[in-house]
Amino acid sequence: MINIESFQMFSTFAIAIFIEVMPFLAIGALISAVLEVFVSQERMIKLIPKSVAGGVALGIGAGFILPTCECGVVPIVRRLIKKGVPPYMAIAYMLAAPIVNPVVLVSTYLAFNGNGTMVFGRIGIAVIVAAAMGLYARRFTNVFRESAKASLHNHHHGHHDHNHSGETIKQKIKTVVMHAAREFMEMGKYVIIGAVVSAAFKTFIPMDIIIALSENLIVSIIGMITLAILLSICSEADAFVASSFQVFPMGAKLAFIGIGPMVDLKLIGMYGATFKKELVIALIVGPTILVFILSWLVEKFIF
């Protein structure tokens, strides 16, 4: 039975997750809007390597430079693809950036008391999964679901040929704000759903069950992957949460910080609102399987 104390805890967790995510989603929406208004499609296309391997590598490499959280990366990727960036390059960036960016790597280093294996293990998982899913995305000429395509079209309605070059700086800034607000509101509702479900899990699942999962390596990795997906913790903070599960093997903790920035409840909602069903399923199943295998291998042969 749910008592007042449990409900208050649930409300606190939900609001905390919401508050944690919203700034990053706002930053992502703002970057997306800046890309739309200030970067022409022609300029964007010139930066794209000719080869698929080069495009995937550049997408992953960009993640090391741009401090983008998973909470805001989907709007950026939507805009990049709309600008002419190949889906395989954008998908690789989307999965890698929330893990390999400098802010997250520093937080991981600090959370695990300078354990380089955890940092490089996290980088390795991100690079392998992002490359694999980027290459898988080659099969799609169009990755957007119909409603997302319509939404993107409506965002541009009234701007001839989507060209903002003739606008004044003041007009461009106004357009950026309008685009960012629309993007923020559209993605925000899925974050709210994810926050509510995640808070319910954190509140009502007994800690004894979580501890019991740590007794077997395979079960513990599966348990930590499931936990990461359900808790939906931002990648800047997830390493501190993972390190707090002291009874779990390091491979299971690596699985936790590997899968969370790629697949969690808020991301599943945003994926579903943006991409085709087949790609959404691949973005959920593919990283989950790969993270499990890679984390198991790291635990067996490195830790």
**161-178 average pLDDT score:** 75
Nearest to 296 by CA among 216, 218, 212, 223: 218
CA distance 59 to 75: 15
Distance of CA 89 to the CA centre of its chain: 15
Q: What is the mean pLDDT of the chain?
A: 84
Q: Which of 72-86, 200-214, 220-234 has the weakest average pLDDT?
A: 200-214
CA distance 139 to 149: 18
Does residue 144 have a pLDDT over 80? yes
pLDDT band with cut points at 50, 70 and 90 for residue 243:
confident
pLDDT of residue 157: 47
Q: Could you give the number of structural domains in the chain?
A: 1
pLDDT band with cut points at 50, 70 and 90 for residue 159:
very low
CA distance 50 to 290: 28
Cβ atoms of 139 and 282 closer than 8 Å? no
**19-25 average pLDDT score:** 74
pLDDT tens across 260-283, in order? 999 998 899 899 989 999 999 999
pLDDT of residue 102: 84
pLDDT tens across 70-89, in order? 777 888 888 888 888 899 99
Does residue 123 have a pLDDT over 80? yes
Of residues 22 and 253, more confidence is placed in 253
**13-26 average pLDDT score:** 77
Nearest to 163 by CA among 41, 35, 29, 30: 41
CA distance 59 to 185: 26
Question: Which secondary-structure segment (H or E) carries 78?
Answer: helix 70-82
Would you list the DSSP string of 139-202?
G-S--B-HHHHHHHHHHHTTSGGG--TTS-HHHHHHHHHHHHHHHHHHHHHHHHHHHHHHHHHH
**145-174 average pLDDT score:** 63
Of residues 112 and 46, more confidence is placed in 112
Does residue 155 have a pLDDT over 60? no
Does residue 160 have a pLDDT over 50? no
HSE at residue 162, side-chain half, CA atoms within 13 A, is 17
Does residue 143 have a pLDDT over 60? yes
pLDDT band with cut points at 50, 70 and 90 for residue 232:
confident
Residues contacting residue 109 through CB under 8 Å, at least 6 positions apart: 115, 116, 118, 119
pLDDT of residue 158: 44
Domain that holds residue 150: 4-301
Does residue 187 have a pLDDT over 80? no
